[in-house]
């Protein structure tokens, strides 16, 4: 049996302080690339989930390596799951109880290559496969969302975050992904769900970066978000931020949230989550990692 890790509150604070420093440095790398128009794509990965998930830039790799190298130097026994450093088939081969940083260097890559400021870095930390800390940083608008398990969520380290508490979809700003370039089945599911929301919701938006979309629910800047075919690096930090801000985090089926299952529904309240689940058409994808676990 794999050993469990014991990590103190003080150690988690230390981990987060270093991660915050490195993430801010990565924000400068991202901003410089956008401002100097060095944000072009260098590779198109295998498609199927949509154009946004198929784009890779030089800055993606630069940011991910900056985070991994910086954290490894400070905490040599930590592990990493990064979007750009997983195996070529996209599957996670190893995930242990050790402190593990789950990284999306640039979430909203399609926004990035079009110089749209809604671009973020997402980094979540698990210990014993449980989420304990997370950061979602949007450098172009100077918003850094963060959370530590049991200690709440904050904006820029100061403002305490709380969900809006909206309970009825008629008053809710809904966020979803429009999977441009995805296969026909996924496109059809998205259009069906969009149609339901357009007839029920107060507003519907599709900003792009999943991690930021999720964090916005925690911040009360939106009320509900769902996605099918997302990855653990998109969800890890945001899921903890929403949970610590008093929101609901679950699988769209109503089951317990599973970080490796690639599906998520977050909402400002249980009542709103249940209303959304009533009309959602589901789209299933393969897991990121085979083992199921309780993550929050």
User: Would you write out the chain's pLDDT as a tens digit for each of its 296 residues?
Assistant: 789 999 999 999 999 999 999 999 999 999 999 998 776 655 555 545 655 454 567 899 999 999 999 999 999 999 999 988 775 566 798 999 999 999 999 999 989 999 999 999 999 999 999 999 999 999 999 999 999 999 999 999 999 999 999 999 999 999 998 888 889 999 999 999 999 999 999 999 999 899 999 999 999 999 999 999 999 999 999 999 999 999 999 999 999 999 999 999 999 999 999 999 999 999 999 999 998 998 99
Q: Which residues contact 222 (CB under 8 A, 6 or more apart)?
A: 173, 174, 175, 205, 213, 216
Catalytic residue among 12, 30, 92, 106: 106
Does the annotation count 107 as an active-site position?
yes
Q: Confirm if 252 and 226 have CB atoms less than 8 A apart.
A: yes
Backbone φ and ψ of 38, nearest 5°: -105, 45
- Residue 94 makes CB contacts below 8 A (sequence gap 6+) with 79
Q: Active site residue: 49, 60, 83, 288, which one?
A: 83
234 is catalytic: yes
C-alpha distances out from residue 234 to 180, 195, 230, Å: 18, 25, 7
d(CA 267, CA 219): 11
CATH number of 169-279: 3.40.190.80
Cut 0.85: pTM above it: yes
| 213 is known as an active-site residue | no
d(CA 280, CA 242): 20
263 assigned to active site: no
Residue 83 is among the residues annotated as catalytic for this protein: yes
Domain boundaries, the chain: 9-160, 169-279
Taking each helix axis from N to C end, the angle separating 184-200 and 270-279, rounded to the nearest 10 degrees, works out to 130
Inter-CA distances, 99 with 58, 72, 124, 160, 293, Å: 27, 11, 10, 26, 15
Handedness of CA 71, 207, 281, 251 (dihedral sign): positive
C-beta separation of 139 from 28 below 8 A: yes
Interval 165-224: pLDDT, tens:
999 999 999 999 888 888 999 999 999 999 999 999 999 999 989 999 999 999 999 999
DSSP sequence for 76-103: TT-EEEETTTS-TTS------SS-EEEE
pLDDT, position 62: 93
- Asked whether 112 and 57 are in contact (CB, 8 A), the reply is yes
Strands of the sheet containing 79-82, edge to edge, are: 79-82, 100-107, 120-127, 130-138, 143-148, 153-155, 159-160
Pick the CATH number of 9-160 from 1.10.10.10, 3.40.309.10, 3.30.450.90, 3.30.540.10: 3.30.540.10
Mapped onto helix, strand or coil, the DSSP state of residue 257 is coil
Show the tokens assigned to 249. Answer: 């985090």
Residue tagged active-site, from 57, 100, 109, 126: 109
Question: Which among 60, 104, 213, 258 is annotated as catalytic?
Answer: 104
Catalytic residue among 49, 60, 84, 107: 107
* Residue 258 falls in the annotated catalytic set: no
């Amino acid at each position: 049996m794999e050993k469990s890790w014991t990590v103190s509150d003080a150690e988690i604070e230390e981990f987060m302080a270093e991660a915050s420093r490195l993430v801010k440095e990565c924000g400068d790398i991202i901003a410089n690339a956008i401002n100097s128009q060095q944000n072009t794509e260098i590779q198109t990965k295998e498609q199927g989930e949509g154009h946004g998930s198929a784009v890779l830039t030089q800055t993606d790799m630069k940011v991910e390596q900056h985070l991994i190298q910086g954290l490894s130097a400070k905490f040599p026994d930590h592990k990493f799951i990064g979007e750009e450093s997983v195996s070529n088939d996209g599957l996670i081969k190893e995930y242990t109880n050790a402190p593990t940083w789950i990284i999306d260097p640039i979430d909203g890559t399609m926004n990035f290559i079009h110089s749209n400021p809604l671009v973020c870095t997402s980094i979540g930390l698990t210990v014993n496969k449980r989420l304990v800390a997370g950061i979602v940083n949007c450098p172009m608008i100077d918003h850094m969302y963060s959370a530590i398990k049991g200690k709440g969520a904050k904006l820029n380290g100061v403002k305490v975050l709380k969900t809006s508490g909206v309970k009825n979809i008629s008053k809710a700003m809904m966020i979803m992904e429009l999977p441009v370039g995805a296969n026909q089945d996924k496109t059809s599911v998205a259009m069906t769900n969009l149609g339901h929301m357009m007839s029920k919701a107060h507003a519907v938006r599709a900003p792009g970066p999943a991690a930021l979309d999720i964090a916005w629910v925690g911040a009360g800047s939106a009320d509900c978000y769902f996605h099918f075919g997302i990855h653990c690096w998109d969800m890890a930090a945001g899921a903890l931020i929403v949970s610590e801000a008093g929101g609901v985090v679950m699988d769209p089926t109503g089951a317990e949230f599973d970080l490796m299952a690639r599906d998520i529904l977050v909402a400002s309240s249980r009542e709103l989550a249940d209303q959304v689940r009533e009309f959602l058409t589901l789209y299933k994808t393969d897991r990121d990692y085979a083992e199921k676990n309780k993550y929050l």
